């Protein structure tokens, strides 16, 4: 059972435009969500997080939105830059140490 789903395996966006990466979850016990970015041959890099008591968290060009009723979160990158091209993983956690990751979305930002 996939508790965290990233249904788009890939996404292409023009440089300067908005990138929107989506994530759905099924576990209502999740109370914390994180986004990670991963380049090939490197470990995931923490990007931004959101607690379930919030519906939005912003950090520079990155904003995460959480819709608890829909069990959906999204990561917005504005403006998108070629250096943002990577695989983005969404992860959910439920008060233990354990994070459950989605399968990732490969973002390609076209110059």
Partner 1 sequence: DTEVTQTPKHLVMGMTNKKSLKCEQHMGHRAMYWYKQKAKKPPELMFVYSYEKLSINESVPSRFSPECPNSSLLNLHLHALQPEDSALYLCASSRGQGLYEQYFGPGTRLTVT
Contacts with partner 1, residue ranges (CB under 8 A): 4, 31-32, 34, 36, 41-46, 49, 89, 93, 95-99, 101-104
Instruction: Give me 22's structure tokens.
Output: 């989506």
Residue closer to partner 1, measured from CB, 25 or 36: 36
The answer to whether residues 48 and 101 touch, using CB atoms and an 8 Å cutoff, is no
Nearest-angstrom CA–CA distance, 86 and 99? 20
- Closest approach, Cβ 16 to partner 1, in A, equals 29
- Closest approach, Cβ 97 to partner 1, in A, equals 5
Residue closer to partner 1, measured from CB, 16 or 46: 46
- Closest approach, Cβ 35 to partner 1, in A, equals 10
Residue closer to partner 1, measured from CB, 42 or 69: 42
Nearest-angstrom CA–CA distance, 76 and 39? 18
Residue closer to partner 1, measured from CB, 42 or 111: 42
Rg (CA), the chain: 13
Q: Sign (positive/negative) of CA torsion 58, 95, 39, 18?
A: negative
């Amino acid at each position: 059972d996939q508790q965290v789903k990233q249904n788009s395996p890939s996404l292409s966006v023009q440089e300067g435009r908005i990138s929107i990466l989506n994530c759905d979850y099924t576990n209502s016990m999740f109370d914390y969500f994180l986004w990670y970015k991963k380049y090939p041959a490197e470990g995931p890099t923490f990007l931004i997080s959101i607690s379930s008591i919030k519906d939005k968290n912003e950090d520079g060009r990155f904003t995460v939105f959480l819709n608890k009723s829909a069990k959906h979160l999204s990561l917005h990158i504005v403006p998108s830059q070629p250096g943002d091209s990577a695989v983005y993983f969404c992860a959910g956690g439920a008060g233990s140490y354990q994070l459950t990751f989605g399968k990732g979305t490969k973002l390609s930002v076209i110059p």
